[in-house]
Structure 1
Amino acid sequence: MINHDEAGAVRPLTLAWVSQHVNVGERIVRTEALHGGITAEMRRLTIGTRDGGTRDLVLRTFVDPYFVEHAEDLLDREAGAQTLLAATGVPVPGLVAVDPTAAHCEYPSLLMTHLPGRTVLADEGLETRVPLLARQLTAIHALRPDERPREYEPWTTADAVVPPNGADTVAWAAATDVIRKPAPLYEGRFLHRDFHPGNVLFDLPSPRMGDPRITGVVDWVQTSWGPADLDVAHCSTNLALLHGPAWGLRFAEAYEQAGGVLAATASERLYWRLLDALAFAAGAQWLARPWREAGRAELTTRAVEERLDAYVTGLMDALG
């Protein structure tokens, strides 16, 4: 009998598919919903091994109609990234099986190994974690795969930007004009494309036991080829919304201190930072919900919108 909470229950066809991809003599003994994701259902599956022990796997399932429609591309990209990165020093989950078209499961799904560590979204200790994030992102950008992933896609356009209520309309109009221009030329890099604290796992020992370290980078469904600035911009925006605009403005400096190379001019850097930040205007409520579920109760939709406004105006002051 499988022990699971109601939210963690795996659908019958998917359960049978998973059972085909564990070792002979192993069985699923527990399923548990993992919270914090926005686009997919995530579950931890505890597998009973033949020697009486256990090991964990993670199941990603797309059920929202929009993501089901795009699941084949997204899951193929994640499976490809996991396969590619298995031979590198980047800590990623190992691919176990993928059903991108729901040929066997009720919904498109990917089964992967479970990594140790946990996401950390608290303000405490951020000054120690930010350099680790920057070094990890630099290592990802240093990869030179034989086969490139597809070119990045922008997540907003100038015509789609709608400033939050109460935003500085003058600053937002100027920011929108920046991304209305053609994208700057760039040297392509291997991008995670959704790199931020919610997709990075940490081991946080007590101060007497050692320093924090990154144990995993997850969620590779948006893997792309594009400018390093775009990954830096995305992490910067998330840091600004989670921890305050000043942290968003500081992350690029940490990235360069870690050896990363960004666009040569302030105008080019501003373009990429705004291309990412302005895309958040339409989705503050979707970000705020999982962050509150993770313990950041003060991050209401309104609070996130206010931080986004302050971050955009800060970018215009600093780089505009």
Structure 2
Amino acid sequence: MINHDEAAAVLPLTLAWVSRHLEVGERIVRTEALRGGITAEMRRLTISMRDGSTRELVLRSFVDPFYVGHAEDWLHREADALSLLMGTGVPAPELVAVDSTAAHCEHPSLLMTHLAGRTVLDDEGLATRVPLLARQLVAIHAVRPSERPRKYVALTTADTVATPKGADAAAWAAAIDVIRRPAPAYEGRFLHRDFQPGNVLFDLPPRRAAGARITGVVDWAATSWGPADLDVAHCCTNLALLHGPAWGLRFAQAYEEAGGVLAAAASERLYWQVRDALACSEEVQVVAQPWREAGRTELTTRAVEERLDAYVTALMDALG
């Protein structure tokens, strides 16, 4: 029997579509909402198998009208990425099925395998996790697709930056001037485009010391082709806001220590680092909410704004 309290949000057409993609004799016995998604609803589906054991799938559905308008593109890109990554060694889910236009489901949806592990957003053990994150991102950038995904899209402009209240006006003005310049030339790489702790799954030992490992990287809907610096900058910004500005600066160093190659000139590195940080200024509230829901209750919108200000200032001091 399906747990109908949990399954209520998974509508009949979608349940029927999922069922058509199961093996003979399998059935859905439980659904569970997963936290952390911003653009889409995520649910874990428990599947009863013919031998009496169970397996799990994940259903990603775009429900919010604003995001439904982007769903076809995002789901196609995610499906293509998941297919590409099979056999590469990058621990991504396997694609089961996709209905990007809601031809069969109530909402545009994608069905994929469930990966073991969990996201880890707290400060404890961060020094161990950062090198793992860096090595994983280097491996992603080493993927060479036969067909390139679309070129990256910049997420902010000099005129749309939202300077936080009480921010260092001089530092922010200088940072905004940086992204008024043309983008530097770069060698293209396969980008995740939202690589950050909220999209990485870990298996942690009880004491969170030696033995931590990455078990999965999820949310491939924004895969793009562009500079490695941009993916690195995005993770730097998230680490700075989650754990403090010093960790944002540290991640770029860890990426190079793991064998990754960034722009040679400090001015070029600054451009990508600042571009991503300033893009975050426009959606601090949206970024911070899932972190609070995950237990980081101290990360109020104001607290995250203060960390963003400190990080932008640190970038301008270090690279500007």
Q: Specify the code of the residue in structure 1 equivalent to 2:204.
A: L
Pairwise CA distance, 1:206: 2.7
Q: Quote the offset at 1:65 in angstroms.
A: 1.6
> Match of 1:98?
98
Taking every aligned residue pair, what percent have the same amino acid on both sides?
78
CA distance in 2 between partners of 1:209 and 1:242 (Å): 20
The aligned residue for residue 129 of structure 1 is 129
Q: Which residue of 2 aligns with 1:293?
A: 293
Note if contact 1:8-1:33 (Cα within 8 Å) is conserved in structure 2: no
Offset at residue 71 of structure 1 (A): 0.8
Distance 1:300 1:5 in 2: 31
Which consecutive unaligned segments of at least 5 residues does structure 1 have? none
Distance (Å, rounded) in 1 between the aligned partners of 2:193 and 2:208 = 35
Instruction: Give the letter for the 1:114 counterpart.
Output: H
Do structure 1's residue 308 and structure 2's residue 308 form an aligned pair?
A: yes
Superposition TM-score, scaled by structure 1 size: 0.98
**Post-superposition shift, 1:208?**
9.4
CA RMSD of aligned residues (A): 1.3
Q: How far apart, in 2, do the equivalents of 1:131 and 1:158 lie?
A: 32
Deviation at residue 154 of structure 1 after TM alignment:
0.3
* Residue pair 1:229, 1:273 contacting (<8 A) in 2 also: yes
3-state SS of 1:122 partner: coil
Distance 2:260 2:152 in 1: 19
Q: Which runs of 5+ in 2 are unaligned?
A: none
Runs of 4+ in 1 over 2 A off after TM superposition: 4-9, 206-210
CA distance in 2, matches of 1:140, 1:208: 25
Equivalent position amino acid for 1:283 in 2: E
Whichever residue aligns with residue 286 of structure 2, its letter is W
Residue range with higher mean Cα deviation, 238-247 or 65-74:
65-74
Aligned residue identity for 1:241: L
Give the match's secondary structure for 1:111: strand
Name the structure 2 match of 1:140: 140
CA contact (8 A) 2:6 2:31 kept: no
| Residue 198, structure 1, aligned to residue 198, structure 2 | yes
Contact kept? 2:40, 2:61, Cα under 8 Å? yes
TM-superposition CA deviations, 1:124-144 (whole Å, max 9, x none): 000000000000000000111
Matches within 5 A, 1:162-201: 162-201=162-201
- Measured in 1, the distance between the counterparts of 2:136 and 2:123 equals 19
Paired residues for 1:250-289 under 5 Å: 250-289=250-289
Instruction: Tell me which residue corresponds to 2:118.
Output: 118
Report the TM-score, using the length of structure 2 for normalisation: 0.98
Q: How far 1:153 sits from its partner (Å)?
A: 0.3
Shift of 1:67: 1.5
**Distance in 2 between residues matched to 1:182 and 1:263, nearest whole Å:** 15
Native 8 Å contact 1:195 1:234 kept in 2: yes
Please name the residue that 1:76 is paired with.
Answer: 76
Q: Deviations over 1:19-74 (max 9, x none)?
A: 10111100000000000111110000000000111100000001122211111110
Count of matched residue positions in the alignment of Structure 1 and Structure 2? 320
